[in-house]
């Protein structure tokens, strides 16, 4: 894979690929959850919880990759523009290749679309467009030869901003959404959940059968209080729970 800077740039591309899929497929299009087809995962509470964990993992991967690139830059190992773009594209495509092979076909925890008669067609089309094409383009950039000038701190700062922006997008509420979605811990009974809502001055709008997932009208400043009463994730109240605001219970 070449230098340490190259490896960290590929890892950053993997994180950006994860953000892309999570934002587009889990939130905007809502074609699947991370564990839509996993055995024993029919519970909406678990589906949303693991979507949140996925977004948190992407934050960690992106942060680690940016830290590694910064260290490489300090050691004068930064990449030139073409090679940096190639490494990012390789990581982006690699994410989609691994996701297709592992998540779609070997583990079967989700497909690109779980609501169609032939999900394989969608799997292959998505892999071609966002996996194989970026891999080929990234490889073409890398074959352009050694860089003439190394990328410096300004480019690294722009990459950091892009990564933070990709993650922060998941925090924004869905258009027109005026309620918060709450995922409560397993075992919290409806009476306890209602008491938690009362303590946070929240009004119940919708709840699933077991009160594991609820939608409530609550002031943004009061959403944090739900974490003290059994909530595991609350949209609009911290990372990575913003993705919940886009879910249709």
Which of the four pLDDT bands, split at 50, 70 and 90, describes residue 239? very low
Which of the four pLDDT bands, split at 50, 70 and 90, describes residue 246? very low
Structure tokens at 137: 């383009």
Cα–Cα distances in Å, from 159 out to 51, 65, 88, 191, 246?
A: 24, 10, 10, 47, 26
Helix-strand-coil percent breakdown of the chain, rounded to 5?
60, 10, 30
- Could you give phi then psi for residue 213, rounded to 5 degrees? -130, 130
Asked if the bond preceding 82 is cis, omega within 30° of 0, the reply is no
How many whole angstroms separate alpha carbon 248 and alpha carbon 129?
27
pLDDT digits (tens, 9 = 90+) for 96-114: 999 999 999 999 999 999 9
Q: Helix, strand or coil for residue 41? A: coil
Give 213's strand partners.
183
pLDDT digits (tens, 9 = 90+) for 158-202: 777 776 666 565 555 555 456 788 888 888 888 999 998 999 889
How many whole angstroms separate alpha carbon 17 and alpha carbon 93?
7
Min mean pLDDT across 31-35, 173-177, 211-215 is at: 173-177
- Of the CA atoms within 13 Å of residue 51, those in its CB half-sphere come to 33
**For the chain, percent of residues with pLDDT exceeding 70:** 82
């Amino acid at each position: 894979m070449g230098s340490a800077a190259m490896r960290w740039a590929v890892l950053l591309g993997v994180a950006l690929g994860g953000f892309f899929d999570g934002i587009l497929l889990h939130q905007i299009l809502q074609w699947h959850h991370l564990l839509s087809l996993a055995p024993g995962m029919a519970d909406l509470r678990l589906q949303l919880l693991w979507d949140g964990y996925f977004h948190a993992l992407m934050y960690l991967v992106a942060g680690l990759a940016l830290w590694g690139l910064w260290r490489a830059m300090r050691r004068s190992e930064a990449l030139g523009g073409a090679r940096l773009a190639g490494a990012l594209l390789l990581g982006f495509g690699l994410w989609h290749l691994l996701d297709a092979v592992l998540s779609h076909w070997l583990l079967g925890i989700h497909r690109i679309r779980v609501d169609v008669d032939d999900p394989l067609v969608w799997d292959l089309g998505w892999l071609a467009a966002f996996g194989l094409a970026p891999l080929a383009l990234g490889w073409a950039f890398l074959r352009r030869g050694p860089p003439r000038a190394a990328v410096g701190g300004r480019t690294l700062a722009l990459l950091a901003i892009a990564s933070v922006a990709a993650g922060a997008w998941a925090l924004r509420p869905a258009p027109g959404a005026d309620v918060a979605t709450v995922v409560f811990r397993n075992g919290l009974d409806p009476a306890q959940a209602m008491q938690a809502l009362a303590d946070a001055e929240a009004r119940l709008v919708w709840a699933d059968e077991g009160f594991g997932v609820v939608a409530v009208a609550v002031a943004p400043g009061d959403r944090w209080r739900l974490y003290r009463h059994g909530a595991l994730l609350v949209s609009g109240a911290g990372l990575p729970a913003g993705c919940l605001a886009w879910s249709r219970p």
